[in-house]
Structure 1
């Protein structure tokens, strides 16, 4: 849910600076909300009633904080990329590498804390792991308040003029932001209330078509093609993560002959290796791919990602044991390789949108791209669940119950998910065939996100017709 309202956050921060700043106050406010949710989630004593009534709400506060910081920091470095396109790939790589390095530390700590932290005062290991984020989060507020973002201060008059300019020249962008956020929120609520994979699956694709059509109608063709491609890429990025988790972590009673990995190994070791693989992917991107065209980059990344994931059906079908590779070794190698591809596919799109963001609307445009992509990706859960249910892959992880039969067709589910990820290759023509370290448009043409859209062209033709009619009269 919090990630679904990114378009509203982006639009509001672009249009209504607080104390003269567009990013700093919103990041600070989100941090306070997130820290409050974190403290309450750590201090609360878990029980059935608190889980039902409170914990979900607290984590929504935490994820709102994450979504807010993620979006507004992207808006900041988008402007930096536009001013220095040659350094764009390196900047995206630097930001992503920072996230992965800190994720590496968190991955190493979380599994150890969850498994070994004492249950003092009735608190769980997960709560103690969450508590470790409080001090670093407070420290991070300091550079935000010191304006390390390098923001310019806006006067009330300038802010008003900017809002009027947006409303008079690009009001359809406002409507699109409201629509995307509303659709994402409604689908999130609907998917929780209606526990039907079939209905959610159909509704997802109907709403995606609506959003894609709306984006095509009101934003400039270059941006609408990127949004459509990211939508297709997001909805095709299927992963049977739910059944896979039970496959790896079920004990010897639940899954005789399975990997039977401990939570520590699966949560820390495998995750850590995956993050290291992601850092390797960032190095490859910034060192060797930064001058490639977008089409070439996506072509190589998608094919590479599909090939690297072929290890999943091998371990799910237990073929790795037949060829003498232990589960622990195979899952570590496979996870690291897959992380390389999954990280690489994210980076070109961020660069492309950074080059196309109209000045002073970076938050809105990044929010639209992220919201449409996240909405498409959010729906992959329903798609994967539908495929899994159809092939009778429905593990539950119930203690003391043998559910090994639930994994018989998991390799087929995995193979279908992998093949679906090839679909975006048929839509590479939507992307510009331009190098990733160059501007896509001259700077004087990056002032509007809606110029040249079908809606703008329709209005222009209509005004011409009205002008001709008046002249004839």
Structure 2
């Protein structure tokens, strides 16, 4: 191949750059750039609405709910095309919904229940767009050879991290210059990119299938999924990931501590987000270059232990021990967040890769959405358990006497899933799954006989199509 040929075919992580790849990666970029509103939401709930740490934790946990029912969006886009399109139309709808939710936050939201509603709607917007591109990601991920495994996930998460990086510092700086409502108004613009970019998706219009056919589809898909989920090679790793994700979180209480007790202003918190965005990219790069060949069991075992040990450094800040060591609160916070983000991202990547490799042929999109739903249900549980612990320990917006205990408990609980570490596969689970699963051709033919059309949940491979922060969300 000549040098000119290479110029004509640029690649990212080994994947050809096409208009559709650009469009779908734009969706991930927007997911990252929507973090512009993240600090604004926290300050809005804390200061404008006057909520307590426990209330903020409980309310923000609701944002995970749309991701719990993520497969539902797949069913809807499959059986009920809008104007004949299952992908373009739903991406356009998702963008408009997100724009409307953030516009409402910028103008009419005055009560906690309405704020919760708009936050959930904005989350639904992202979840709908995400489920559309996830099916293509999993299709392509399964086609990767083992030596390239994780490259597509790394690419999509890197693009999301770049989007987050783009607005990391701005998220705090804007709050220093403008009100939270102005930031919400600016955020409302970005979902419209998803609506506009959807037009680059190549898709043939098709008719909606009947309600009876849709019901039959769902019933048969559920039977196929139930048969897959019952396999120990899928069930046990899924259970481990759920336990790993469901441990309680002290994030909301800690936010109140650094803003009310340490007096960190929005501009500095923007700097912290900038540092952690770079750290997230570093974590992805380290995993991609050095760790992607390490077994899932060994990788998650060691990363959990290391993250737990490093997590205790937060106690130094909570107890003000860093001041005795002559380290300023802000410098310590920056360094601590940098290290914890790198280790957290390294721990996150194998979970994403494992989830993709667990999907049996023929039901990749639905199974991946189901796995991610269980993960996000665990994330919701993590926030709500954290809210209960925060309330039980008496940590409020002004009383942080027992925050050290909250941090200790939440950190120690992250080690509990290690008891079940053997539930994770020692090697690549895909080879074993392929030996015990109906072929994708058989599954597709069975499905087509019922519905008379292709399903987004049993996707065909279309040319040049490529596609939870927690962040505990996917």
Quick check: TM above 0.5?
yes
Is the aligned partner of 1:145 residue 2:145?
Answer: no
The corresponding residue for 2:238 is 227
Cα separation, 1, equivalents of 2:87 and 2:352: 19
The corresponding residue for 1:265 is 268
Closer/same/farther in 2, CA of residues 372 and 8 from structure 1, 3 Å limit: same
* SS of the residue 2:407 aligns to: helix
Closer/same/farther in 2, CA of residues 20 and 159 from structure 1, 3 Å limit: farther
Q: Across the two proteins, how many residue pairs are aligned to each other? A: 376
The corresponding residue for 2:187 is 133
Deviations 1:296-352 (A, max 9, x none): 111122122112212101111111111111111111111111112222332222222
- Compute the displacement of 1:57 (Å): 2.9
- Compute the displacement of 1:22 (Å): 4.1
- Compute the displacement of 1:163 (Å): 7.4
Alignment of 1:376-415 (within 5 A): 376-392=378-394, 394-396=395-397, 403=398, 406-415=399-408
Deviations 1:249-284 (A, max 9, x none): 11xxxx4xxx22112212x01122112111111011
Cα separation, 2, equivalents of 1:159 and 1:353: 31
Cα separation, 2, equivalents of 1:248 and 1:363: 40
- Kept in 2: contact 1:223–1:353 (CA 8 A): no
Which of 151, 166, 176 is equivalent to 1:90?
151
Cα separation, 2, equivalents of 1:32 and 1:5: 20
Closer/same/farther in 2, CA of residues 109 and 273 from structure 1, 3 Å limit: same
Closer/same/farther in 2, CA of residues 59 and 420 from structure 1, 3 Å limit: closer
The corresponding residue for 2:119 is 59
Closer/same/farther in 2, CA of residues 358 and 377 from structure 1, 3 Å limit: same
The corresponding residue for 1:454 is none
Cα separation, 2, equivalents of 1:361 and 1:419: 37
- Compute the displacement of 1:413 (Å): 1.7
Q: TM-score, structure 1 length as denominator?
A: 0.71
Is the aligned partner of 1:339 residue 2:341?
Answer: yes
- Compute the displacement of 1:429 (Å): 1.2
Alignment of 1:419-438 (within 5 A): 419-435=412-428
Deviations 1:103-154 (A, max 9, x none): 122221121112212xxxxxxx22222232344432333332211xx66776
Which of 138, 147, 151 is equivalent to 1:78?
138
* SS of the residue 2:149 aligns to: helix
- Compute the displacement of 1:247 (Å): 1.3
Alignment of 1:14-53 (within 5 A): 14-18=78-82, 21-42=85-106, 44-45=107-108, 50-51=110-111
- Kept in 2: contact 1:356–1:446 (CA 8 A): no
- Kept in 2: contact 1:243–1:395 (CA 8 A): yes
Deviations 1:355-386 (A, max 9, x none): 33345533422222122111122122332233
The runs of 5 or more residues in structure 1 that have no matched partner are 118-124, 175-214, 397-402, 452-473
Q: TM-score, structure 2 length as denominator?
A: 0.71
Closer/same/farther in 2, CA of residues 23 and 308 from structure 1, 3 Å limit: farther
The corresponding residue for 1:101 is 162
Closer/same/farther in 2, CA of residues 29 and 157 from structure 1, 3 Å limit: closer
Which of 418, 434, 439 is equivalent to 1:442?
434
Cα separation, 2, equivalents of 1:443 and 1:114: 55
Cα separation, 2, equivalents of 1:389 and 1:380: 14
Cα separation, 2, equivalents of 1:217 and 1:88: 22
Cα separation, 2, equivalents of 1:319 and 1:280: 28
- Kept in 1: contact 2:245–2:378 (CA 8 A): yes
Cα separation, 1, equivalents of 2:206 and 2:348: 32
* SS of the residue 1:291 aligns to: coil
Closer/same/farther in 2, CA of residues 77 and 163 from structure 1, 3 Å limit: farther
Bigger drift between 84-93 and 53-62 goes to: 53-62
The runs of 5 or more residues in structure 2 that have no matched partner are 1-64, 444-474
- Compute the displacement of 1:25 (Å): 2.6
Bigger drift between 71-80 and 138-147 goes to: 138-147
**Which entry has the higher C-alpha Rg, 1 or 2?**
1
The corresponding residue for 1:189 is none
The corresponding residue for 2:258 is 248
- Kept in 2: contact 1:302–1:421 (CA 8 A): yes
